[in-house]
Amino acid sequence: MTGETLVDVGSGPTLYQVLSGCEVFGRVVLTDFLEANRRELQRWLAGEQGSFDWTPYLQHVCQLEGRSPSAWREKAARLRSVVTEVLPIDVHQPCPLPPGSLPASGADCLVSSFCLESVSPDVASFTAALRRMGSLLRPGGHVLLIGALGESYYMAAPNVRIPVVPLDEAQVCSSLKVSGLSLLRLCVYTLPPDMRVGVDDVSGIFFVKARKP
């Protein structure tokens, strides 16, 4: 999967979602609703002292790609060169991104990890957010989604419980269809008991590859 423009929807303060994609797309756009998260991304991109150290993650991804772990510096430089914007986004608005952020035809690929189910109060809102996200994509473009199954909450901090819309496989497939996206592949990972440590009630993780007709 390659192209010119890759958009990460709901990046949070993290970069792991685009550590491989930055190698095959000419432009990467990071997005998040929260200014604090966008600022943290900008700090790393600018090489500011005290920003989060992504070195172990860069090294691990290099290994997964069959490269030497020492290639992490090249990957970091590549990522900094192709991330052109860190933009505000609101998937509950008709136009999630600021006007003119993307080519008129749309992005070539969208990725989103553990975002839509965390910002949607119910399945209908999740589906609507997915449809609005899909509006950012060009015809023939692809969507890569990672999300939680069976999760109703996660702990953002001690005594800070964030609600999540619980999803199952059928609901994910239905939401994709209603949103006008064609499912190409769905994989599910069931969490073993030793990974259920009490910070959430996730039962599994879904991985989706879909296409906009």
pLDDT(17) > 90: yes
Measuring CA to CA, how many Å separate 36 from each of 41, 154, 185? 9, 20, 34
Domain coverage including residue 79: 1-89
Split into its structural domains, the chain has a count of 2
Q: Which of 57, 89, 121 is the last residue of a domain?
A: 89
pLDDT(197) > 90: no
On whether both 80 and 139 belong to a single domain, the answer is: no
On whether both 121 and 50 belong to a single domain, the answer is: no
On whether both 84 and 138 belong to a single domain, the answer is: no
On whether both 71 and 38 belong to a single domain, the answer is: yes
On whether both 75 and 138 belong to a single domain, the answer is: no
Would 154 be classed as within a structural domain?
A: yes
Would 151 be classed as within a structural domain?
A: yes
pLDDT at residue 92, as a whole number: 97
Read off the pLDDT of residues 75-110 as tens digits, 9 standing for 90 and up.
Answer: 999 999 999 999 999 999 999 999 999 999 999 999
pLDDT at residue 1, as a whole number: 81
Residue of 112, 111, 129 whose CA lies nearest to 120: 129
Q: Given pLDDT bands bounded at 50, 70 and 90, which one contains residue 187? A: very high
Would 106 be classed as within a structural domain?
A: no
The CATH number of the domain holding residue 186 is 3.40.50.150
On whether both 79 and 118 belong to a single domain, the answer is: no
On whether both 160 and 85 belong to a single domain, the answer is: no
pLDDT at residue 196, as a whole number: 86
Q: What's the CA dihedral at 170, 204, 14, 80 to 10 degrees? A: -70
Handedness of CA 52, 56, 185, 29 (dihedral sign): positive
Classify strands 160-163 and 153-157 as parallel, antiparallel or unpaired.
antiparallel
pLDDT(125) > 90: yes
On whether both 43 and 118 belong to a single domain, the answer is: no
On whether both 117 and 209 belong to a single domain, the answer is: yes
Query: 48-58 as b/e, with b when 16 or more CB fall inside 10 Å?
Result: eeebeebeebb
The percent of residues in the chain predicted with pLDDT above 70, rounded, is 100
Q: Quote the CA–CA distance of 55 and 29 in Å, as a whole number.
A: 21
On whether both 118 and 189 belong to a single domain, the answer is: yes
Would 99 be classed as within a structural domain?
A: no
Would 98 be classed as within a structural domain?
A: no
Residue of 171, 131, 132 whose CA lies nearest to 151: 171
Would 107 be classed as within a structural domain?
A: no
Q: Given pLDDT bands bounded at 50, 70 and 90, which one contains residue 7? A: very high
Q: Given pLDDT bands bounded at 50, 70 and 90, which one contains residue 145? A: very high
On whether both 135 and 203 belong to a single domain, the answer is: yes
Read off the pLDDT of residues 150-164 as tens digits, 9 standing for 90 and up.
Answer: 999 999 899 999 999
On whether both 138 and 173 belong to a single domain, the answer is: yes
Q: Quote the CA–CA distance of 188 and 213 in Å, as a whole number.
A: 24
